């Protein structure tokens, strides 16, 4: 028996990186997956890969910072698959402005993409999960949700907020819905390439006991564990998957 057999999973930010790896893994484990992001070419490539492997997925083009897009995502999911069992709030954007240079627009955009979209989407799917008596929500935080680093004020603040939102969701959505977070360390994705790739942050690699950059699959396997019944007594936790960076 596959671990997510018959489940319907929305994975935001699954056109790339760890969301993509998770969408592919969830589908291999029997879930019908809704792939989302803004880039249609990449979204289609993920769905094509899932279908070539004999599994089931659709894509919905969504800007998670827009409430109307998020609502359409849920509508299309319900029209296509009739329900939602798993929500992975994973879409995220990076901001690298020093504190004094962060504009209100930048601040609002980072919070909309990284935190507020998770709130909207959860408000839409939680009643469906509650009525079914079961559901799982996973939020992507970061090691930046625990510490601060020079030049990342908006990003760091948004990920600290994501931790608070995750714990609040767990309190208010139980007992039917379990909510947990994943706090990745350095994972080799397009986001890390946008700042020069792993070699640009070699110090972070050197400072972690496992001495390597993570792979998107390192996150996908933890997301699968949290989405499955194997983690049925874990709730309200933010699990660091960082090679020991934040010990």
The binding site for ligand NAP (CB under 6 A) comprises 13-19, 37-39, 42, 62-65, 90-93, 113, 140, 142, 184, 186-187, 189-192
Nearer to ligand NAP, 174 or 202 (CB): 202
The alpha helices in the chain, defined as continuous H runs, are 17-28, 40-52, 67-81, 104-111, 117-132, 153-173, 190-193, 202-206, 216-227
Closest approach of Cβ 84 to ligand NAP, in Å?
A: 17
Catalytic member of 59, 81, 120, 155: 155
Nearer to ligand NAP, 8 or 115 (CB): 115
Q: Is 155 annotated in the active site? A: yes
Closest approach of Cβ 106 to ligand NAP, in Å?
A: 13
Torsional class of 74: left (φ above 0), alpha (ψ -120 to 50), beta (otherwise)? alpha
Closest approach of Cβ 193 to ligand NAP, in Å?
A: 8
Nearer to ligand NAP, 109 or 174 (CB): 109
Query: What is the DSSP annotation of 100-142?
Result: GG--HHHHHHHHIIIIIHHHHHHHHHHHHHHHHT-EEEEEE--
Active site positions, annotated: 155
């Amino acid at each position: 028996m596959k671990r997510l057999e018959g489940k319907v999973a929305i994975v935001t930010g699954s056109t790339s990186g760890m969301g993509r790896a998770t969408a592919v893994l969830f589908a291999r484990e029997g879930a019908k997956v809704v792939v989302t992001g803004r880039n249609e070419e990449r979204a289609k490539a993920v769905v094509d890969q899932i279908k070539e492997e004999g599994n089931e997925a659709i894509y919905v083009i969504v800007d998670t910072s827009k409430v109307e897009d998020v609502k359409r995502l849920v509508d299309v999911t319900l029209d296509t698959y009739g329900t939602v069992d798993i929500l992975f709030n994973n879409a995220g954007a990076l901001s690298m402005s020093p504190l004094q240079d962060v504009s209100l627009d930048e601040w609002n955009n980072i919070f909309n993409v990284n935190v507020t979209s998770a709130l909207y989407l959860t408000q839409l799917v939680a009643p469906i999960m509650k009525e079914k008596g079961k559901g799982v929500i996973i939020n992507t935080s970061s090691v930046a949700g625990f510490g601060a680093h020079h030049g990342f004020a908006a990003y760091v603040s948004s990920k600290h907020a994501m931790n608070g939102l995750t714990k609040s969701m767990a309190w208010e959505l139980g007992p039917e819905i379990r909510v947990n977070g994943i706090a990745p360390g350095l994972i080799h994705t397009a986001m890390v390439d946008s700042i020069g790739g792993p070699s640009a942050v070699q110090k972070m690699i050197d400072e972690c006991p496992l001495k390597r950059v993570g792979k998107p699959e390192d996150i996908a396997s933890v997301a699968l564990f949290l989405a499955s019944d194997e983690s049925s007594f874990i709730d309200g936790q933010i699990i660091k998957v960082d090679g020991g960076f934040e010990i």
